[in-house]
Amino acid sequence: MGSEVTLKHIAEALGISAMTVSRALNNRDNVDEKTRQRVLEKAQSMGYTPNHVAKSLVSSKTYTIGVVIPEITHAFFPEVVRGIEEVTNSSSYQLFLTNANEKFEQEKKAIKALRSKRVDGILISSSLTVEDYSFYKQLIQSDTEIVFFDRCVENIGASCVSVNDKISARQITEHLITEHGFTKLAYLSGPQHVSVGRERYQGFLDAMNKHDIPLVDKWIIEGGFQEKAGYKAMKQILDLPRDEFPEAIINVNDPSAIGAIQAINEEGLSIPDDFAIVGFTDDIRANLLKVPLTTVHQPAYEVGKRAARKLLDSIENEDEPTENIELLTTLKIRASCGCNS
Amino acid sequence: MGSEVTLKHIAEALGISAMTVSRALNNRDNVDEKTRQRVLEKAQSMGYTPNHVAKSLVSSKTYTIGVVIPEITHAFFPEVVRGIEEVTNSSSYQLFLTNANEKFEQEKKAIKALRSKRVDGILISSSLTVEDYSFYKQLIQSDTEIVFFDRCVENIGASCVSVNDKISARQITEHLITEHGFTKLAYLSGPQHVSVGRERYQGFLDAMNKHDIPLVDKWIIEGGFQEKAGYKAMKQILDLPRDEFPEAIINVNDPSAIGAIQAINEEGLSIPDDFAIVGFTDDIRANLLKVPLTTVHQPAYEVGKRAARKLLDSIENEDEPTENIELLTTLKIRASCGCNS
DNA sequence: TTGTAGGCGTTATCAA
DNA sequence: TTGATAACGCCTACAA
């Protein structure tokens, strides 16, 4: 009820002007030290909270940045957020997270809300169902600074921080081919209109081409980034006659792999004896699984840090250049692909 | 660069007043249909985005609610957030998440920022190092509506949604005592000034008392809610002479249990042969562990939903009552306590 | 050192 | 149906 205390209230209580109160509270030097003390005490005792809404209206700066993540329960993203926070915590910017739940509609809604709130910049990892790049283009032309991370939209004028998805996917595929001699490879892919879906699939194709291994349509299934997608795709493979089974399953990410593993277990089959399987992410669960998962470790924390830094730099420096920053991954060889270690 | 388009710009371009533009854009009925069409088209073509900052200044309503979570990488919280989102997505409220990283200082900073932004309400789960309830009291007296979830601060005038921590902790302890006949029980606790830390410890004590089992000081270690805390606490136990080892380890939550398991494995000991171990949360990892973890399943999603609903109700209804809502848990008996299943 | 006037973008209110 | 005016809380610029 009791409407909030304003500068004016403090001023009246003290018999001085609102302007002086403002100056005192903002630590300007042109205010008498005694006056400042009186103001500070009064503000404290009256429970004053500065109204940033009003402040922002004047300054057209909110010292707020928005983050749009596609799926908060995919452990990779919370880790990225931690990295972002490391940067923003030592700056004067406040962070607002929004979750798109892999839906582009929700993502658009979140971005619009952030823009309406006049955040100074937005970090975006685009959602599963993203389809309308013109939306991003319009966004980039506005006053709001944008930096993409992980799932990038390239060459539309915004910087991007990601990992070398294509090469990493090629490497993990080649590991299966050269170290294990597998030639029957299935690929449970992500959607091709999302950069990481596309890049990782390309890496898989590169490896197959290089080793002259033919692609088998029924083993290449476009699913999604979530567990249920991996589960569903694997079910499709398990429905094949047994002599048409692949030897190894390559997944677009770890959640997909975990879903696939569940499907395999339900069928009473085992890893790595019946299927070798690999993921991509190095999810917190990867190393804890009954059969630890071979995967590509992504430096999530670092991705967050770099993206946040780039965004703050772009906000504070008019002519910060646009760039694509690619961080490096590490292959994590574990038991799920049939290795000893 | 090009500063944002405002109502006034549209008005000038159309040769009408800003007020009419405002009315048209807000779908008021007292505006000519032709005028409305002209305005809508112009707004679209000029790329108008409403300035909620200004709007909020007038209405003192922001249609925004803040969420303060203590630890975003603890999988329980992202799941709660999903529940919160289910509610807010079908309302006109926008969600802003902040993460306190288990630090009260960071939590206070986040809350202050949210208040300065004049969010209409805040959902809070308090942080590890919380110590100053007067901060919350002051908050509750302000215009901002507050609802606590999971980690509550009770009897200070705000509603709270939590699970029946005490009874659940008692039940899982009794399971170890009555089903397995253990009497040498260790408890790796959370901090006692956080409600769930306190309640769960009480539940453990209740079970011990009821069965007349004496407490052993060296087996009761106050750690924290994160993996490293469980790891460290378990190390302490493993430093004891072997004949002073407890039979079972009860943890304040799953991350703590996972940390403890790591310490046990590093020592070359095994579960459940050398130690039975149980957690509390039913983290996404619990069932995936090499030896699946016996734990208490918390309805995280539901906690989020209920808390969000309560908050929105409190915001929109002046005299919504204050209440403590307690949701029920389920015991998940798995192999880590030495059970067959 | 302090105060006054004006404006940030929007809406409520009253008048036309 | 439309417009003019004032107000939300704060800050910049200028004046005292």
Question: Do residue B110 and residue A94 have CB atoms under 8 angstroms apart?
Answer: yes
Q: Point out the residue nearest to D3 (C-alpha to C1').
A: B17
The per-residue pLDDT for range A149-186, each reduced to its tens digit, is: 999 888 899 999 999 999 999 999 999 999 999 999 99
- Are B102 and B70 contacting, i.e. CB atoms less than 8 angstroms apart? yes
- Within 7 Å of a protein beta carbon, the nucleotides of strand D are 1-5, 7-13
On the question of pLDDT at A142 being above 90, the answer is no
Closest-CA residue of chain A to B58: A54
Alpha-carbon distance values, B54 to A144, A261, B58, B111 (Å)? 17, 52, 7, 22
Protein-to-nucleotide distance from the CA of B19 to the C1' of C14, whole angstroms: 13
Mean pLDDT, residues A289-301: 96
> Shortest Cα distance from B199 to chain A (angstroms)?
27
Q: Point out the residue nearest to D7 (C-alpha to C1').
A: B58
Q: Which residues pair with A296 in a beta bridge?
A: A331
C-alpha span between A104 and A159 (Å, rounded): 20
What pLDDT score does B310 carry? 97
Q: Is A151 left (phi over 0), alpha (psi -120 to 50) or beta?
A: beta
Q: Which nucleotide is nearest to A19 (CA to C1')?
A: C3
Is the CB of A17 within 7 Å of strand C?
yes
Is the CB of B25 within 7 Å of strand C?
yes
- Residue B1 pLDDT level (bands cut at 50, 70, 90): very low
Interface test with A, best of B72, B119, B135 (most A CBs within 10 A): B72
- Residue A2 pLDDT level (bands cut at 50, 70, 90): very low
What pLDDT score does A340 carry? 63
Question: Do residue A96 and residue B98 have CB atoms under 8 angstroms apart?
Answer: yes
**Chain A neighbors of B116, CB-CB under 8 A:** 49-52
Protein-to-nucleotide distance from the CA of A54 to the C1' of C8, whole angstroms: 9
> Shortest Cα distance from A64 to chain B (angstroms)?
9
What pLDDT score does B94 carry? 86
Mean pLDDT, residues B170-192: 96
* Residues B185, B189, B195, B196, CA torsion sign: negative
Q: Which nucleotide is nearest to A34 (CA to C1')?
A: C1
**Chain A neighbors of B45, CB-CB under 8 A:** none
Model confidence, pTM: 0.88
Protein-to-nucleotide distance from the CA of B55 to the C1' of C10, whole angstroms: 5
On the question of pLDDT at A141 being above 90, the answer is no
Residue B98, H or E segment: strand B94-99
* Dihedral, B100, A93, B303, A68 alpha carbons, nearest 10: -130
- Residue A295 pLDDT level (bands cut at 50, 70, 90): very high
What pLDDT score does A14 carry? 94
Question: Do residue A98 and residue B97 have CB atoms under 8 angstroms apart?
Answer: yes
Both tokens of A87, joined, read 């940067």
Question: Do residue A47 and residue B138 have CB atoms under 8 angstroms apart?
Answer: yes
**Chain-wide mean pLDDT for chain B?**
93
Query: Pick from A50, A79, A141: which is nearest to B116 by CB?
Result: A50
C-alpha span between A263 and A32 (Å, rounded): 73
Q: Point out the residue nearest to C2 (C-alpha to C1').
A: A20
- Within 7 Å of a protein beta carbon, the nucleotides of strand C are 1-5, 7-13
Closest-CA residue of chain B to A81: B72
Size of interface A-B (CB pairs under 8 A): 128
The per-residue pLDDT for range B53-93, each reduced to its tens digit, is: 999 999 999 999 999 999 988 999 999 999 999 999 888 89
pLDDT more than 70, % of chain A: 98
Both tokens of B28, joined, read 């008021």
What pLDDT score does A266 carry? 96
**Chain-wide mean pLDDT for chain A?**
93
Query: Pick from B85, B113, B290: which is nearest to A290 by CB?
Result: B290
Protein-to-nucleotide distance from the CA of B236 to the C1' of C1, whole angstroms: 63
What pLDDT score does B340 carry? 62
What pLDDT score does B47 carry? 87
On the question of pLDDT at A329 being above 50, the answer is yes
Higher per-residue pLDDT: A323 or B47: A323
> Shortest Cα distance from A271 to chain B (angstroms)?
14
Mean pLDDT, residues A188-194: 94
Is the CB of A60 within 7 Å of strand C?
yes
> Shortest Cα distance from A214 to chain B (angstroms)?
35
Same topology between domain B2-49 and domain B165-298: no
All structural domains of chain A with their residue ranges: 2-49, 58-162+299-327, 165-298
Query: Pick from B96, B106, B118: which is nearest to A96 by CB?
Result: B96
CATH number for the domain whose boundaries are B165-298 = 3.40.50.2300
Query: Pick from A3, A57, A143: which is nearest to B4 by CB?
Result: A143
C-alpha span between B54 and A117 (Å, rounded): 9
Closest-CA residue of chain A to B285: A285
> Shortest Cα distance from B193 to chain A (angstroms)?
25
What pLDDT score does B2 carry? 46
The per-residue pLDDT for range B116-170, each reduced to its tens digit, is: 889 999 999 998 776 778 889 888 888 789 999 999 888 899 999 999 999 999 9
> Shortest Cα distance from B140 to chain A (angstroms)?
11
What pLDDT score does B90 carry? 87
> Shortest Cα distance from A17 to chain B (angstroms)?
21
Q: Point out the residue nearest to D1 (C-alpha to C1').
A: B31
What pLDDT score does A327 carry? 97
The per-residue pLDDT for range A255-275, each reduced to its tens digit, is: 999 999 999 999 999 999 999
pLDDT more than 90, % of chain A: 80
Domain spanning A58-162+299-327, CATH architecture: 3-Layer(aba) Sandwich (3.40)
Q: Assign a CATH topology to domain A2-49.
A: 434 Repressor (Amino-terminal Domain) (1.10.260)
Protein-to-nucleotide distance from the CA of B119 to the C1' of D8, whole angstroms: 16
CB under 7 Å from strand D: A 3-4, 6-8, 18-19, 22, 25-26, 50-51, 54-55, 57-59; B 16-17, 19-20, 23, 29-32, 35, 54, 57-58, 60
Closest-CA residue of chain B to A1: B143
Residues 37-96 of B with CB under 7 A from strand C: 50-51, 54-55, 57-59
Torsions phi, psi of A121, nearest 5?
-165, 160
